[in-house]
Structure 1
Amino acid sequence: MDETDRHLLARLGEDARTPVATLARDLGLARSTVQARLERLERNGVIAGYALRLGDAVRAGQIRATVLLSLDPRATPAVVKRLDRMPEVEAAHTASGRADLVLTLAAPTTAALDRTLDVIGEIDGIKGSETLIHLSTKIQRSG
């Protein structure tokens, strides 16, 4: 990956829907060159996909939380499978330290978040949890 690829990725990070012709003009390259670079970046796994990123108008109506889970190590695959079926779970990351799994949750109300936490707490293999409610976002980077 060279400097041109990094500039291309930065432009896509701003707006992944930018037409290839516009990217080519902005980067001073031929459209076919930009298209070939995008295909190579996709093929090599640098670009894993193009996704919808919800704006503040939608996110503002959500109560968000980070949940730290301690797990029975043998139960991790089953716990992750169960969490994957819960729409309130936006992300799940394995971690080192006192937590085995770190979740990001979003729910429309505190009551819905509380119900979600109750369901998570009942999953076999979870030994303990700690929930941190997000109050405000000070920095949000994409990518």
Structure 2
Amino acid sequence: MTTLDEMDQSLLRFLRRDARTPTAELARRLGVSRTTVQARLEKLERTGVIAGYTIVAGDAVDAGMIRATVLIQVEPRMTASIVAALGRMREVEGLFTTAGRFDMAIQLAAAGTPQLDSALDRIGELDGVRGMESLIHLTAKIDRRR
């Protein structure tokens, strides 16, 4: 496990806001040389702290998308095949194990209600799914994905 000092944490905070920030700008914000920032970035990448860089799509991409959280109960012996099947569904944005009455929480995104309904039907038909509950997302009050 890599220990992150204050500079590493600050660097990660800046990159989370904008991963395209030039190295020279990061150096200026941190009050260090450009080569120091470059060396820190290389270390963070090499140790797996930074696993990659990505884009955050704007609101225009998500316009009209409908999202839901689906809670499912599964037969324990079927967990691996259910995870594999959910991994093949393009509507699945995330899959999490949970504690409590439900075994997994699925984050879905679909182009519209017919596509969401179809995805829900496919999940319910998977061998080993004993029960499910769907929570349709209406309005985001806090969204830290961006």
Q: Same fold (TM over 0.5)?
A: yes
Q: Tell me what 2:17 maps to.
A: 14
1:20-59 paired onto structure 2 within 5 Å = 20-59=23-62
Shift of 1:126: 0.8
Structure 1-normalised TM-score? 0.94
Q: Tell me what 1:111 maps to.
A: 114
Instruction: Structure 2: give runs of 5+ residues left out of the alignment.
Output: none
Q: Tell me what 1:68 maps to.
A: 71
Query: How far does the alpha carbon of each residue in 1:44-94 deviate from its partner, in whole angstroms, 9 at most, with x for none?
Result: 222222122222222232000000011111111111111111110000011
Q: State the identity %.
A: 57
Partners of 2:74 and 2:45 in 1: how far apart? Answer: 35
Instruction: Structure 1: give runs of 5+ residues left out of the alignment.
Output: none
> 1:26 corresponds to which letter in structure 2?
R
Q: Tell me what 2:90 maps to.
A: 87
Partners of 1:42 and 1:49 in 2: how far apart? Answer: 8
What is the number of equivalent residue pairs in this alignment?
143
Compute the RMSD of aligned alpha carbons.
1.3
> 2:45 corresponds to which letter in structure 1?
E
Partners of 1:36 and 1:99 in 2: how far apart? Answer: 45
Pairing partner for 2:5 from 2, 23, 28: 2
SS at match of 1:69: strand
Deviating beyond 3 angstroms after TM superposition, the runs of 4 or more aligned structure 1 residues are none
Structure 2-normalised TM-score? 0.92
Partners of 2:81 and 2:55 in 1: how far apart? Answer: 28
Pairing partner for 1:127 from 125, 130, 139: 130
Q: Tell me what 2:99 maps to.
A: 96
Shift of 1:141: 1.4
Partners of 1:69 and 1:13 in 2: how far apart? Answer: 32
